[in-house]
Amino acid sequence: MDDYIRIENLSYWYRDTGVPAVRDVDLTVAKGEFACILGPSGCGKSTLLNILSGLFTPQRGKVTVDQHALFEDGRRVASEPVACGYMFQDARLLPWRTVGQNIALALKAAGFPENTWNEIIRSHLQMLRLEKYESAWPMNLSGGQRARVAIARSLAIKPAFILMDEPFSTLDEVTGRFLRAELLDLWERTGVTIVFVTHSIREAVYLSDHLYLMTAGPGEVFGRETIDLPRPRQYEDPRLTEIEGRLVNTVLEKWGYFDHKEPM
């Protein structure tokens, strides 16, 4: 199997408190795959992304991307930093820089020569139907538009992969659905590898090729689901509902909700 991102036996605990966040995680993502990590709040999903993006150094385990080791046994392996796009829960744009400048900054930091910025910015804004807003201030955009700028920024740097941390959870339902469909479309057009973290089972089933199930914190990966429904998918597709129902039963047990079970 083509293991583009490979995480082996990974553990991380918070340095100041010693509280474990993730434990013995094994996970592989193929190139061009849309992988979702599904877990309850506080299960260490974000920690995993922070490790993949290079913000946190894990104490144990190995992380390789495209056969280049990033971390090995708690050490950061000195190598070229992997360019990764990141979408946070909020769009996290600099409010005092215009939409175009926000993307330009990421391009500059990623080492793109200055004479290429304009073209890259324009094409990516076009792809997200934002070309009108290149010189707009982020504060003047709607939540959905800001999220799309964040998508444009993460794609523009030609990343090895894009990490997404519940990026649509703060948006309203309609905007969220619209953006999920748009994201899938972009993913198919660009072939980029995406690791998407969410606590919404429906969202995960709708988006992913493979879906990793995590326990409540400290998080362990306890299952891998393959969602082999054909694309494009419909959010209301009854087959999604069926998979969702099956997963709910699996997950509830692990997430520890049976102690105070609600009638279903």
Residues that bind other proteins (CB under 8 A): 53-55, 81, 83-84, 86, 88, 90, 92, 94-97, 105-106, 108-110, 137-140, 153, 157
Per this entry, what is the length of the chain?
Answer: 264
Closest to other proteins by CB, 88 vs 235, is 88
Helix (H, G, I), strand (E, B) or coil at 123: helix
Least Cβ distance, residue 199 to other proteins (angstroms): 19
Least Cβ distance, residue 228 to other proteins (angstroms): 32
Closest to other proteins by CB, 23 vs 44, is 44
75 Rama class: left (phi>0) / alpha (psi -120 to 50) / beta: beta
Q: Alpha helices of 62-218 — where are they, by DSSP H?
A: 99-109, 114-127, 143-156, 173-190, 201-207
How far is residue 25's CA from residue 48's CA, in Å, rounded to a whole number? Answer: 9
Least Cβ distance, residue 40 to other proteins (angstroms): 22
Retrieve residue 38's tokens: 């599904």
Least Cβ distance, residue 107 to other proteins (angstroms): 9
Closest to other proteins by CB, 74 vs 81, is 81
Whole-angstrom CA distances from 162 to 91, 120, 191, 255 are: 14, 17, 11, 27
Closest to other proteins by CB, 146 vs 254, is 146
Q: Alpha helices of 128-219 — where are they, by DSSP H?
A: 143-156, 173-190, 201-207
Closest to other proteins by CB, 157 vs 205, is 157
How far is residue 43's CA from residue 239's CA, in Å, rounded to a whole number? Answer: 27
Contact 255, 215 (CB under 8 A): yes
Least Cβ distance, residue 96 to other proteins (angstroms): 4
Closest to other proteins by CB, 78 vs 139, is 139
